[in-house]
């Protein structure tokens, strides 16, 4: 993993790194690898944003569960459980991660009623904004990279609602 992170960092210099290892590490090798990767990222992109799903030692995981404001070292924003958000505004930067449909990947068996409408997405975005967070919508591209038409339709609808709210 470290080699891939270095390659991405050097080739593209991403300003946001979104990891998805939100579980406790089982080996020292895993701890060392993520620490090396994050140190490399930070050394190349000083103002980088890194979410808190970088894995953790059991001690860090325990701290995270105790306080919604706990932030692991070198991480700059929290991501709570999938599709979850805090009940009160935390004192740290945070992001809500959600799906437009019911799946985290491409699911061709989803029905129309399985998708959130643009209005439902808008309602979630407004709640997140009220709590001081930002939103990341997960999309499930097909093997050829094409996006689900229903997801795109919902995102277009929420984009129209955003534009409308900024002109009022």
**CA-to-CA distance for 52 and 36, rounded, in angstroms?**
15
**CA-to-CA distance for 156 and 150, rounded, in angstroms?**
10
114-155 pLDDT, tens digit per residue, is 999 999 999 999 999 999 999 999 998 999 999 999 999 999
Tell how many helices (H) and how many strands (E) occur in the chain: 5, 7
27-46 pLDDT, tens digit per residue, is 889 889 999 999 999 999 98
DSSP letters for 85-143: --SS--SS-EEEEEESSS-SS--TT--GGGSPPHHHHHHHHHHHHHTT-EEEEE----T
Select the more confidently predicted residue: 55 or 30.
Answer: 30
């Amino acid at each position: 993993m470290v080699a891939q992170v270095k390659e991405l960092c050097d080739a593209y210099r991403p300003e946001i790194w979104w990891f998805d290892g939100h579980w406790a590490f089982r080996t020292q090798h895993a701890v060392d690898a993520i620490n090396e990767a994050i140190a490399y990222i930070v050394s190349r992109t000083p103002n980088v944003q890194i979410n808190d799903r970088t894995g953790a030692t059991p001690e860090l995981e325990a701290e995270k569960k105790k306080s919604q404001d706990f932030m692991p070292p070198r991480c700059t924003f929290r991501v709570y459980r999938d599709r979850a958000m805090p009940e009160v505004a935390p004192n740290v930067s945070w992001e809500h991660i959600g799906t437009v449909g019911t799946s985290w990947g491409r699911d061709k068996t989803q029905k129309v009623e399985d998708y959130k409408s643009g209005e439902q997405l808008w309602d979630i975005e407004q709640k997140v904004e009220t709590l001081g967070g930002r939103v990341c919508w997960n999309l499930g591209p097909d093997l050829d990279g094409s996006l689900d038409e229903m997801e795109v339709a919902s995102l277009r609808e929420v984009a129209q609602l955003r534009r409308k709210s900024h002109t009022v």
